[in-house]
Amino acid sequence: MKADYNESIPNNVNLGDDRRLLRALERWQPAYIQWWKDMGPVNSNDIEVYLRTAVSVDTDGWAHFDHVKMPDYRWGIFLAEPGPDRKISFGAHKGEPVWNEIPGEYRSELRRLIVTQGDTEPASVEQQRELGRTAPSLYDLRNLYQVNVEEGRHLWAMVYLLHAYFGRDGREEADEMLERHAGDPDRPRILKAFNEQTNDWLSFFMFTYFQDRDGKFQLAALAESGFDPLSRTCRFMLTEEAHHMFVGETGVMRILQRTCELMRQHDTTDVRPFGGINLETVQKWINFHYSICLDLFGSERSTNAANYFSMGLKGRYQETKIDDDHKLDGEQMDIPKVTEDGIDSETISTLTAMNLKLRQDYTADSQRGLNRFNKMIAAHDIDVTLTLPDEKFNRTIGIYSGIEATPEGELISAEEWAKRRAAWLPTDEDKAYVNSLMVPVTEPGKMAGWIAPPKRGIHGRPIDYEYVLFH
- List of residues contacting Fe ion (CB under 5 A): 121, 151, 154, 212, 215, 241, 244
Query: Considering the rule CB under 6 A, would residue 140 count as an interface residue with ligand BYC?
Result: no
Q: Minimum CB separation from ligand BYC for residue 80, in Å?
A: 17
Chain residues 184-203 in contact with ligand BYC, contact rule CB under 6 A: 191-192
- Binding span for ligand BYC by CB under 6 A among 17-25, 119-127, 172-180, 331-339: 119-127
Looking at the Cβ atoms of 88 and 230, the one nearer to Fe ion is: 230
Query: Considering the rule CB under 6 A, would residue 291 count as an interface residue with ligand BYC?
Result: no
Q: Minimum CB separation from ligand BYC for residue 221, in Å?
A: 7
Cα(382)–Cα(376) distance, rounded to whole angstroms? Answer: 9
Neighbours of 8 (CB within 10 A): 12
> Can you tell me which of 152, 226, 229, 298 binds ligand BYC, judged by CB under 6 A?
298
Cα(231)–Cα(219) distance, rounded to whole angstroms? Answer: 9
Query: Considering the rule CB under 6 A, would residue 294 count as an interface residue with ligand BYC?
Result: no
Neighbours of 323 (CB within 10 A): 5
Beta strands in 231-361 (DSSP E): 332-339, 342-349
> Which amino acid, 293?
C
Query: Considering the rule CB under 6 A, would residue 116 count as an interface residue with ligand BYC?
Result: yes
Q: Minimum CB separation from ligand BYC for residue 84, in Å?
A: 27
Looking at the Cβ atoms of 151 and 200, the one nearer to ligand BYC is: 151
In sign, the C-alpha dihedral spanning 53, 118, 299, 392 is positive
> Can you tell me which of 44, 257, 291, 302 binds ligand BYC, judged by CB under 6 A?
302
Query: Considering the rule CB under 6 A, would residue 121 count as an interface residue with ligand BYC?
Result: yes
Q: Minimum CB separation from ligand BYC for residue 454, in Å?
A: 21
> Can you tell me which of 355, 366, 394, 406 binds ligand BYC, judged by CB under 6 A?
355
Closest CA to 240 of 110, 371, 109, 143: 143
Q: Are 407 and 392 in contact (CB under 8 A)?
A: no
Query: Considering the rule CB under 6 A, would residue 146 count as an interface residue with ligand BYC?
Result: no
**Backbone angles phi and psi of 163, in degrees to 5:** -70, -40
In sign, the C-alpha dihedral spanning 339, 342, 343, 344 is negative
Q: Minimum CB separation from Fe ion for residue 158, in Å?
A: 9
> Can you tell me which of 126, 140, 150, 151 binds ligand BYC, judged by CB under 6 A?
151
Distances (CA, A) of 398 to 392, 394, 401: 10, 11, 6
Contacts of 163 (CB under 8 A, 6+ apart): 21, 24, 25, 28, 170, 171, 174
Which residue's beta carbon is nearest to the bound ligand BYC?
A: 298
Looking at the Cβ atoms of 141 and 305, the one nearer to ligand BYC is: 305
Query: Considering the rule CB under 6 A, would residue 366 count as an interface residue with ligand BYC?
Result: no
Q: Are 282 and 256 in contact (CB under 8 A)?
A: yes
Contacts of 78 (CB under 8 A, 6+ apart): 3, 11, 12, 54, 56, 57, 157, 236
Q: Are 116 and 158 in contact (CB under 8 A)?
A: no
Q: Are 187 and 181 in contact (CB under 8 A)?
A: yes
> Can you tell me which of 11, 44, 53, 117 binds ligand BYC, judged by CB under 6 A?
117
Looking at the Cβ atoms of 210 and 467, the one nearer to ligand BYC is: 210
> Can you tell me which of 54, 98, 113, 448 binds ligand BYC, judged by CB under 6 A?
113
Cα(67)–Cα(48) distance, rounded to whole angstroms? Answer: 5
Using CB distances below 5 to 8 A depending on partner kind, what does residue 298 bind out of ligand BYC, Fe ion, none? Answer: ligand BYC
Q: Are 308 and 406 in contact (CB under 8 A)?
A: no
x/- mask, ligand BYC, residues 213-242, rule CB under 6 A, reads: -xx--x------------------------
Cα(287)–Cα(284) distance, rounded to whole angstroms? Answer: 5
Distances (CA, A) of 128 to 182, 220, 253: 10, 24, 20
> Can you tell me which of 126, 150, 173, 212 binds ligand BYC, judged by CB under 6 A?
212
Looking at the Cβ atoms of 200 and 430, the one nearer to ligand BYC is: 200
**Backbone angles phi and psi of 305, in degrees to 5:** -65, -40
Using CB distances below 5 to 8 A depending on partner kind, what does residue 117 bind out of ligand BYC, Fe ion, none? Answer: ligand BYC
Using CB distances below 5 to 8 A depending on partner kind, what does residue 304 bind out of ligand BYC, Fe ion, none? Answer: ligand BYC
> Which amino acid, 269?
T
Contacts of 185 (CB under 8 A, 6+ apart): none
x/- mask, ligand BYC, residues 391-430, rule CB under 6 A, reads: ------x---------------------------------
Cα(394)–Cα(426) distance, rounded to whole angstroms? Answer: 12
Residues that bind ligand BYC (CB under 6 A): 113, 116-117, 120-121, 124, 151, 191-192, 211-212, 214-215, 218, 295-299, 302, 304-305, 314, 355, 397
